[in-house]
């Protein structure tokens, strides 16, 4: 239950008399300034144009109706038509009782019931371990998926397994060069200048040489005078190494994700877009709509016809497709699966391709309004006020695994989502490693553990949670905490709708601060029996909300620290 539920019936009754649809959304906000009540609504200004009435006049009519609404103490109209409502303490007691009755479901919503959503995230190419910067996509994507699940949506978590194209060939060539180098045949295949130089390439090559079949293949097939035979053997080795490299890299990626408690429901192979003919079908359908043409040996997408600034190549003169082509085929395929909408989590480096892909998908007759994209900005890692350069030479960690080892999975997840995704993120390694109130993760987990400790102590005494005398909760910090708890579901629903996971992190920090203030002001254990039982109930509801909010973020809620 929320406080504004006491107001909605009265407001809808008034607007209906004005000929307004009774189901019109009513905007409610928390006043920014103290003394402006507990809830404010701008419904009067929202309806002024459609009703052709002055906002102030509408506000006066609504305010008059609200003065007799349940639990309302006073209603004021300010400025051009802001309606500020102050509630009696009984409103907060009713809300608290309702939240208590929800039990472990505090904060859960049903706004997504009967609707499906596909959230695609991470989707890193299997050409190496996840680097530290990938962490933001991982945390943002999984939290957005969690938010939808908590709001009642049927969620499919998808990983686009990009295992086609030149980057995979380059992976195979890099591993093959290392295999031959380790086997003493480095002159046969020099390491490619634009190859993958990570130490993991050598590890994969070394593991391949422990396979008797590969070791025999290298020894038997490369010590030959016929260069044509040697070239054919190199091609075979590259293919073997490409497959082994893909398997090793993807196993590494999945292991890293598991350490962040991330598991996808579906892994979609880019290769299947080609083997199933979906890429070719996409080209054919674009051609039949006169949206592709040939120039300079390449195939171009006529984006200018679709209102985009410039035509782009979708198949190079070499026959290799650019990223846009499989992305168009992939989004088309996702929409054909029938999701109510799909969410794509991209890094800022994709920002130029998204409009082109969606324009082509729309031109093929699909509702691109069902595609929602989240673009997260880049991450800079800081320590002691200086930018951390990630390289083996500097001795600093550069993989996501090493970052998790250094600061912990909970901190990694929280730090990557605690700022708006559209803003650049400075990841403070010093703060992340701190075990004190300055670290926001420690601050939230400590709040949950403190409440859990109090509730455990209460079990060993005559104290008990009871609903009989909630009217004793009248202290300002008690009312403030209940007011914040009443907004949990609304915050979650809005964060889900706007794809803003940082809103949950911000809410939890406010909730922890409100609880600490309540704990400071109001003695719980050892107070008068009726007060003690009511405050225990308030503490318990707070614990459940804190626990659920942390679960949405994918962060543990420890019961003791």
Q: Name residue, tokens 């962490």.
A: 135
Nearest to 168 by CA among 232, 73, 72, 248: 248
Q: Name residue, tokens 């945390």.
A: 139
Average pLDDT score over the chain: 91
Relative orientation angle of helices 488-498 and 135-150, to the nearest 10 degrees: 120
DSSP 348: G
pLDDT confidence band for 393 (50 / 70 / 90): very low
Element (H, E) at 39: strand 39-41
The pLDDT > 90 percentage for the chain reads: 74
Sign of CA dihedral 382, 386, 391, 395: negative
E-strand ranges in 68-167 read: 72-78, 82-87, 116-120, 154-161
Cβ atoms within 10 A of the Cβ of 480, count? 18
> How many angstroms separate the CA atoms of 334 and 343, rounded?
11
As given in the structure block, the two tokens for residue 173 are 């060539």
Sign of CA dihedral 407, 409, 415, 416: positive
pLDDT at 227: 46
> How many angstroms separate the CA atoms of 422 and 351, rounded?
12
Sign of CA dihedral 177, 231, 275, 316: positive
As given in the structure block, the two tokens for residue 382 are 């800081």
> How many angstroms separate the CA atoms of 263 and 309, rounded?
39
pLDDT at 384: 87
pLDDT confidence band for 465 (50 / 70 / 90): confident
**What residues have CB less than 8 Å from 204, skipping those under 6 apart?**
175, 178, 241, 244, 245, 248
pLDDT at 230: 53
Strand partners, 315: 299, 321
At CA 312, angle to CA 311 and CA 313, rounded to 5? Answer: 135
Sign of CA dihedral 99, 101, 106, 111: negative
Cβ atoms within 10 A of the Cβ of 367, count? 10
pLDDT confidence band for 221 (50 / 70 / 90): low
Phi, psi values for residue 356, rounded to 5°: -65, -45
State yes or no: pLDDT of 280 exceeds 90: yes
State yes or no: pLDDT of 394 exceeds 60: no
State yes or no: pLDDT of 338 exceeds 90: yes
E-strand ranges in 10-71 read: 28-29, 39-41
Predicted TM-score of the model (pTM): 0.91
> How many angstroms separate the CA atoms of 553 and 561, rounded?
19
CA distances from residue 242 to 126, 185, 195, 466 in whole angstroms, order as listed? 10, 19, 13, 64
Determine the 3-state secondary structure of 181 from DSSP: helix
Domains of the chain: 3-87 (3.30.1360.70), 94-112+437-553 (1.10.730.10), 116-163+264-376 (3.40.50.620), 166-259 (no CATH)
First to last CA, the chain: 32
State yes or no: pLDDT of 418 exceeds 70: yes
Element (H, E) at 188: none
Cβ atoms within 10 A of the Cβ of 448, count? 27
Edge-to-edge, what's the strand order for the sheet holding 379-383? 386-387, 379-383, 425-428
């Amino acid at each position: 239950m929320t406080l504004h539920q006491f107001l909605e019936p009265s407001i809808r009754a008034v607007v209906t008399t004005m000929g307004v649809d009774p189901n019109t959304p009513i905007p409610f906000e928390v006043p920014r300034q103290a003394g402006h009540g507990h809830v404010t609504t701008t419904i009067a200004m929202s309806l002024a144009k459609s009703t052709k009435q002055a906002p102030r006049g509408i506000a006066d009519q609504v305010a008059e109706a609200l003065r007799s609404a349940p639990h309302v103490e006073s209603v004021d109209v300010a400025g051009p038509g802001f309606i500020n409502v102050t509630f009696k303490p009984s409103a907060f007691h009713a809300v608290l009782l309702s939240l208590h009755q929800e039990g472990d479901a505090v904060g859960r919503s049903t706004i997504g019931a009967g609707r499906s959503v596909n959230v695609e995230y991470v989707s890193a190419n299997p050409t190496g371990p996840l680097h530290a910067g990938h962490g933001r996509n991982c945390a943002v994507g999984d939290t957005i998926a969690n938010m939808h699940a908590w709001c009642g949506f049927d969620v499919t978590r998808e990983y686009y397994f990009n295992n086609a194209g030149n980057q995979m060939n380059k992976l195979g060539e890099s591993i093959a060069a290392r295999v031959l180098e380790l086997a003493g045949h480095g002159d046969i295949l020099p390491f490619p200048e634009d190859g993958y130089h990570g130490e993991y390439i050598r590890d994969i090559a070394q593991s391949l040489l422990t396979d008797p079949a590969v070791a025999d293949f290298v020894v038997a097939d490369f010590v030959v005078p016929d260069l044509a035979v040697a070239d054919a053997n190199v091609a075979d080795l590259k293919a073997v190494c490409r497959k082994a490299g893909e398997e090793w890299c993807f196993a590494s990626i999945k292991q890293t994700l598991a350490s962040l408690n991330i598991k996808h429901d579906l892994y979609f192979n880019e290769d299947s877009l080609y083997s199933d003919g979906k890429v070719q079908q996409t080209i054919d359908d674009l051609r039949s709509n006169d949206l592709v043409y040939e120039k300079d040996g390449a195939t171009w997408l006529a984006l200018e016809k679709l209102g985009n600034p410039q035509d782009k190549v979708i198949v190079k003169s070499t026959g290799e497709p650019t990223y846009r082509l499989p992305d168009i085929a992939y989004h088309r395929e996702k929409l054909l699966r029938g999701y109510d909408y799909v969410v794509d989590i991209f890094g800022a480096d994709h920002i130029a391709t998204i409009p082109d892909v969606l324009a082509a998908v729309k031109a093929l007759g699909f509702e691109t309004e069902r595609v929602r994209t989240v673009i997260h900005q880049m991450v800079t890692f800081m320590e002691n006020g200086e930018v951390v350069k990630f390289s083996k030479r500097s001795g600093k960690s550069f993989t996501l695994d090493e970052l998790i080892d250094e600061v912990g999975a909970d901190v990694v997840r929280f730090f990557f989502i605690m700022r708006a995704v559209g803003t650049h993120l400075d990841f403070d390694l010093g703060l992340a490693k701190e075990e004190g109130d300055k670290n926001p993760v420690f601050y939230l987990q400590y709040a949950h553990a403190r409440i859990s400790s109090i509730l455990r102590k209460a079990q060993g005494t005559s104290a008990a949670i009871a609903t009989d005398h909630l009217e004793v909760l009248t202290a300002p910090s008690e009312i403030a905490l209940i007011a914040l708890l009443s907004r949990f579901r609304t915050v979650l629903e809005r964060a889900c709708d706007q794809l803003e996971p940082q809103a949950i992190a911000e809410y939890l920090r406010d909730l922890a601060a409100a609880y600490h203030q309540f704990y400071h002001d109001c003695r719980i254990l050892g107070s008068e029996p009726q007060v003690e039982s009511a405050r225990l109930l308030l503490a318990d509801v707070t614990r459940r909300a804190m626990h659920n909010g942390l679960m949405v973020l994918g962060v543990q809620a420890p019961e003791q620290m």
